[in-house]
Amino acid sequence: MRNLDPERAKWIRVRIGILSGIMALGLGGLVSGAYRVQVEDGAQWKETAENQRMRRLHVEPKRGTIHDRNGSPLAVTVEVPSLSVDVAEMIRGVEGQEAQASVLKDASIRLATALTLDLNETYAKLLTKKRFIWLKRRISGDEAQAIRDMSDPKKNPHPVRGLNLEGEGHRYYPSRELLGPVLGFVAPDGLGKDGLELYLDEELKGRIQDVRGLRDRTGRLIFSEGKTDSDALAGHDVTLTIDGGIQHVVEQELDAAQRTYETKGASLVVVDPNTGEILALASTPGYNPNDYGASEVDARRDRVVTDRFEPGSVMKVFTLATALSAGVLKPTEPIFCEHGTFQLGNVTIHDTHLNDWLTPTQVLAKSSNIGALKIALRLGEPQLYAGFRKFGFGETTGLPLPGEATGVLRPKGRPWFEVETANASFGQGISVTTVQLAMALSAIANGGRLYEPILVKKMQDARGNIIRDGVPKARRDVISAQVAHTITEMLTAVVEDGGTGVEAAVPGFRVAGKTATAQKADPATGKYSEDKYTASFIGFVPADKPRLVIAVVLDEPMIGRYGGDLAGPVFRRVAEASLRYLGVTPNSTAPRLSQVTRENDPADATLALLKPQAVAAMPAPPSVFGPPAANAVKVPDAAGLAARDAVRQVTAAGLVPEIDGTGRLVRQWPLPGTRVPKGSAVRLVFEPAS
């Protein structure tokens, strides 16, 4: 600068000063901006940055497991893969709308083929170009492997990017149809639907938590913070009082009864009368919760708690118990039953059997409507109604299942008229549920105490802590132990020789029970139907030290109608198998049962024929020489009839049909007109019409 012209040197100094000033101002502005961004506005920019690089996820805990009382799993949650797509990653680096559309179209074709999806719907989802899209949830193992191969550059020269397989909980029911209507199912959104899955949804599903995590440029989660112990979030495990072994027997027998008698539906409850624990709870038709979408809504209904029906003659048990408890009836007092016909106002009431004088025990054994109504009228409407309410009718039992019906005792706001009181005494004009009948009879079996039904034995969290324990809880004392013992002795006569429930007798055990055959009301006419019935049987065994109370209800059987003939054998088979399963050995037999045989039971024969391997070879013709047996009947000619009509005709003759094939009857053995002992088997061979 010394060799430069002074004026020029001066100008250079000025320019350097100006430039230095500008740089100083720029540096000052930069420092000031950095201070403002990092210090003054630091919190705001930090949140913005974290929102860009952090991802908020909903962590769904594992749903609790449902077990039976023996620890066998009935409903479990397993992890299955689901496919999500990051479309932004799929088209990263691809320039131009047409090029991107081509990539998405190719990916749509490959994904739709691998996952059996609709091509147009798949392409429409990808066109949204979102960072996260559920493409298909809960895919199979083969589909998951196909996706891995599709996105692996080592196996595929043109891999599809942006595909993410994520594990999701899927509800699985290992026993398939077992306990289906009771368990319910879980929808894809993870919420329980129907049954216990719905009623206990809050306890089973656990607590959902938000987790924040760092993600890379492709959107994949590579680090998470705030991790919580999974056991603290997991749903509670539930142990039921249901015994899987007894439940299996019950469902088999109920399903066989429905097919044999062609019922509209059926329900059955098995209760431990000493605790109120439900050992089995079944209704048919049922369904498989693993494939609930393929079932009808009617099949998913738990008929045990939702269906109301007129109980019929089983209510005579509670009518007599109330009368004995009130002291208006003596156990041996004779009652005049009007030789089977009684006029009450303008209503004529009939008995199936024509009787004159009957004791209360015989009123139950012969199921006399007239005897029951006379007892009820002596008792009076207020006391009869109060007695029914004490047994739990007209109110829910408290079973932890959705949709439990209360039943109907009388019109709201007014008492029964005299005819209504009479009808109620033998189970007409009122409605109950199967579980109400089972719990009410349990009060008689255990000596007079009405318990709340227990379905959940215990509930515990993932760490094993007991959250809820199902302990026996008595609602109230209904009758005295002495009255309960008297009613028990009366009920044993029902299943002894001469009673209406002889088919329910269990060899080696005293059984106390009651049959019912109730006409159903026809909504169209407002009158009782001539061909629609509810057949039922309720009972407990052993009568002296009850272990099981069993209530069987068959709705609208097409073949047969009487509760003793249809529901009685179901009771017997369930009781026999359950007692054997529980290790209860026979120790006594009612004296009058010694001559009662269980051979040629119509229900047993038909049940055996439901199994293909049970079809036997054509039997040899019975001997027709010599005088026919005293109880011999003639084999009817059912040629050309459909299965239902042929079975009905053979059954009406007092014979046991053995069914082979479907369609029209082409052969029968023994031949028509042959005289054979009553109760003999007749094989019916059907073939489809050509």
DSSP one-letter code for 37: I
Kindly state the tokens that stand for 504.
Answer: 């329910």
Residues, the chain: 690
Quote the CA–CA distance of 637 and 623 in Å, as a whole number.
19
**Active-site residue, selected from the candidate residues 108, 295, 313, 442:** 313
Q: Which of 608, 517, 501, 604 lies closest to 555, judged by CA?
A: 517
Strands (E), 327-419: 335-336, 341-344, 347-350, 357-358
Quote the CA–CA distance of 631 and 483 in Å, as a whole number.
41
Give the C-alpha distances (Å, rounded to integers) separating 681 from 256, 552, 608, 654: 19, 26, 12, 10
313 flagged as catalytic: yes
Q: Which residues of 33-51 are buried (b: 16+ CB within 10 A; e: fewer)?
A: eeeeeeeeeeeeeeeeeee
Task: List residues bridging with 676 in a β-sheet.
Answer: 633
Angle ∠(571,322,479) on CA atoms, nearest 5: 80
Give the C-alpha distances (Å, rounded to integers) separating 470 from 317, 402, 464: 29, 18, 16
Quote the CA–CA distance of 230 and 302 in Å, as a whole number.
34
Helix (H), strand (E), coil (C) string for 421-442: HHHHHCCCCCEECHHHHHHHHH
Kindly state the tokens that stand for 67.
Answer: 């077990």
Residue the block writes with tokens 């999806």: 117
- What angle in degrees, to the nearest 10, is found between the helix axes of 315-326 and 481-492? 140
> Annotated active-site positions, please?
313
